[in-house]
Every structure is written in structure tokens, then in C-alpha cells.
Amino acid sequence: MQESYNFVRGHSGWDAVTLLYGEQIPKGREHEIALSLLYPPLFGGAEVGFLYKPEKKEDIRLRIIDRTTRTWLPMCGGMSQVIGKASIETELKDYFKIKVKEPVTTINVQTDSGLVPIESEVSGGEVKRVWTNMSYYAEYLYKEGVKPVNILGVDAVKTGYFLVINMDSLKKKYPKCDFRYRGPGPQWEALKEVLSAYIRQEGMDKQSQYSMLYDMHPEGEGDARIWTRLARLDTQPAVDPYGLTMEGLCGTGTIAVGLAMAENGDLKVKDGPVEVEFEMGSKSISKDPYGSRKTVMKMNVKKGKVVNASFSHSVIELLATGKVYLPKRSLELYGIKL
């Protein structure tokens, strides 16, 4: 008989995630079950989140396993946006005894990066927008280290476990590459060269690297453009089977870019509140049925450092709820050894 577990699935701008009830999962099998969900034939999204009953003052405890690194992830911003909607519009509301208040319901989620308050704007029982307070996460990144680096002549900012690069710096090094494109090609080989050199330069022993690209050349009314480039360096980038080119929104990456912009002097202020509207990708390249997707980041800056930060994606949708059945097949088919 196949194993089965209750789940909720949603996405925030193509960053699909699967949420499981942590208490249902056999202890010690989290990685096996998460990776079974993330890889074909289930295609469970970019991350799997295990939701646990509260132990202290939080409403939900959350632990995350990520498809890129195949291990625990301290935080996922897109998942927090989905939780903000699902905890009010699905059975999660009753399971975690969430008291819905209009116009704003606050849900406190304990993550491996700290406490994350999620504010859902509610009208008629429906979530209209979600704001995730990432101040603890920003502090987490600062503790991991934020500093300027130069890799193969490319200026960048180490921002915790992210490498954040202004695309203008990449273009100076690789003028023939158009880094706005997501799939395989010379731009991917050039970026992989930079990321691999960064791993060697920092003395890290790993095959994956989280990176974010941005520039200050918005095509619309935003303030900046942003691209998510999370990849395993021992593989080619994932290609959508339908040939779609949409860029995925990334909340944690957005916070990393905000910190890097502060480090680079790209923010409008060095002290005080500031709001940045990020355009996701290039609308001339990433044809998107949702139109121009955006992420708004609100920060409070003190002496050039971000001390408070929150964000909101423009697209959050629920995809499915119910029971998921695990396939009977070995993960070694995908080169995964548990």
C-alpha cells in the first residue's frame, strides 16, 4: 500500500511549495518524504514545509527542505506568503486554531532563522495581500556575514548564504551574455563560472549556490529589477517542459538583495524608512500571464544597515489540498542517496 499524507499546495509567483502536517511524518524520514514529493512524478514545487503545532508563543512551527540543496533551509519567503493565505482559507485555520480578524490577521511562525510574523489582509474571509516580516531573517543574514566580494573581476555582495550581483557588473565581464534569460546558454555557463569560482574562493565544499541578480533599470514604474538564480552547479538549469520562461518570485532572495543594495549604496536613504518595488525579471523576455509581477520590500535603515524588513509578493494562489500518495520508486534514479 502506498504511503499518503495530508497536504496543502500553493504558489507565490511560480514559486510552488507543498505544506505537510509535521506530526504525521515519521521521525527521521523528513528528507526521504520531502524529496519524494519534490522530484518526478509528483513535482511538488521548490520546497516542502513541515508545519508543527506551537510549543511557545508562536502559532505555527515551520521547518523547510529545499530542492536545490536537498536539505534544511532556514527560511522560505514564498512559503510564508502561501502560509499567510492557506492558514485562513484552508483547513490549516482549524488545525492550528487561527483566530481570523479583519482587516488584518497576524500569524507568528517560528522558523530556523527566527520568529517570522505574517500579516494577512483579510476581507470577507478571503486574503487579499500578505506581508511577511523578515526582520529576524535579515539579522540572520547579517550574522552569516554581509560583505563586498570580487570574483573573477565581478563585483558582488556576499549576503549570508546568498551571492548578490548587480547585473551591470556581470555585463562588464561578459558583454556578449544576456543574463535576463533563465535557461541554458552562454549566460548560464558564465554565471556558473562565477558561482563556482566564488565557492572555491570562499573555501566552501558544496555543489549548489543561491544567487540573486538585480539592476537599477526598471522597465515599468518599479525601482529595480530582480532575478532569482538558485542552482546546483553539477547540473544544467531546470527547463520548463512547456517552454515557459517565467521567473519565480523569491522572498528570501529579495531580502538578500535589499541588504546588498544597502551595502552598495543603491538605496535612496542611509537612515530611515525606505520602500523598494522590485519588478520580477524582464517583461520583454519573461512572457507572463499574470502581467508584471512585483515584490514590494519595506525597510528601515540605520547607518547603512537594514534593521527592519518586510515584503509582499503581488501573486499568491492556492493550488490544491487533500491527500498526496508517495510513488514507489527509488530516489537513486535522480542521483540522490539518503
pLDDT at 336 over 80: no
Judged by DSSP in three states, 115 sits in strand
pLDDT per residue as tens digits for the range 278-304:
999 888 787 777 777 899 999 999 999
pLDDT at 238 over 70: no
pLDDT of residue 242: 47
Residue recorded with cell 515599468 = 220
Per-state percent for the chain, helix, strand, coil, to nearest 5: 25, 35, 40
pLDDT at 245 over 70: no
Fill in the DSSP letter of residue 333: G
Helix axes 251-264, 77-89, angle to 10 degrees: 140
Judged by DSSP in three states, 199 sits in helix
pLDDT at 244 over 60: no
- pLDDT tier, 40 (very low <50, low <70, confident <90, very high otherwise): confident
What architecture does CATH give domain 4-133+316-334? Answer: Roll (3.10)
CATH class of the 140-303 domain in this structure: alpha beta
Q: CA 248, CA 282: separation in Å to the nearest integer?
A: 12
Q: CA angle 40-15-94, nearest 5°?
A: 95
pLDDT per residue as tens digits for the range 59-79:
999 999 998 888 999 999 999
DSSP secondary structure, 30-86, as one string: HHHHHHHHHSTTT---SEEEEEE--SSS-SEEEEEEETTTSSEES--HHHHHHHHHH
Domain with CATH 3.10.310.10 in the chain: 4-133+316-334
Pairing of strands 114-123, 126-133: antiparallel
Residues 6+ apart with CB under 8 A from 29: none
Q: Give mean pLDDT, residues 124-129.
A: 96
**How confident is the prediction for the chain on average, in pLDDT?**
92
